[in-house]
Amino acid sequence: MRNASIPAAASPELALQADQLVALSGAGSADNIVIAGAGQLDLLIALTRAGFASAACQSIHQAPHLAHETADVILAPAIRGEAELRAVLRWFAPHLRRGGVFVLRPSVADALADVPLRRLLHDSGFADIETSRARDGCLLWRARKCAAALARAA
């Protein structure tokens, strides 16, 4: 269960975005969080300052080098299009534990408007797919990795 909020040391926009992503994921301070995108260091710093000790940023263009074998939460806070989303799902989804949560936020409100996200997430082994609207209008996506994904991968 979440027990921290993003401190005021982060910019107001970043703090709000980080708070929304963490709230949607349901992450707690002891969870292993992976942020997809090496350019997300400010988000990593905000999470660390908020008490999330097991958070890491990873490039979306190569397999993650995780400190832990599996992640509890994967945050993808600035996906720019379908190719980038497919790369994140290809490289990161196998490292998400069964029942783990994937949270997606497009870089701009309509970046993924033409992508069949629900189907793509389902085909990648996710269920319980939900959406919510961020304060800036972006549609946030939350999906939970299901057991069937593990059976398909075996």
Q: Give per-residue pLDDT as tens, 34-89.
A: 999 888 888 999 899 889 989 988 888 776 666 567 899 999 998 888 888 999 99
Coil vs helix vs strand at 58:
strand
Position 111 scores a pLDDT of 67
Q: What is the mean pLDDT of residues 137-144?
A: 90
Q: Which tops the pLDDT comparison, 7 or 56?
A: 56
Asked if 127 and 144 count as a contact pair (C-beta separation under 8 A), the reply is: yes
135 exposed, middle or buried (CB, 10 Å; 0-12, 13-18, 19+)? exposed
Position 152 scores a pLDDT of 47
Q: Considering the entire predicted model, what is its pTM?
A: 0.84
CATH 3.40.80.10 fits 12-153, yes or no: no
- Which residue from 147, 106, 122 is spatially nearest to 21, judged by alpha carbons? 106
pLDDT beyond 50 at 151: no
Question: Which stretch of 39-53, 67-81, 113-127, 140-154 has the lowest confidence by average pLDDT?
Answer: 140-154
Structural domain boundaries of the chain? 12-153
Q: Element (H or E) spanning 149, and its range?
A: helix 147-153
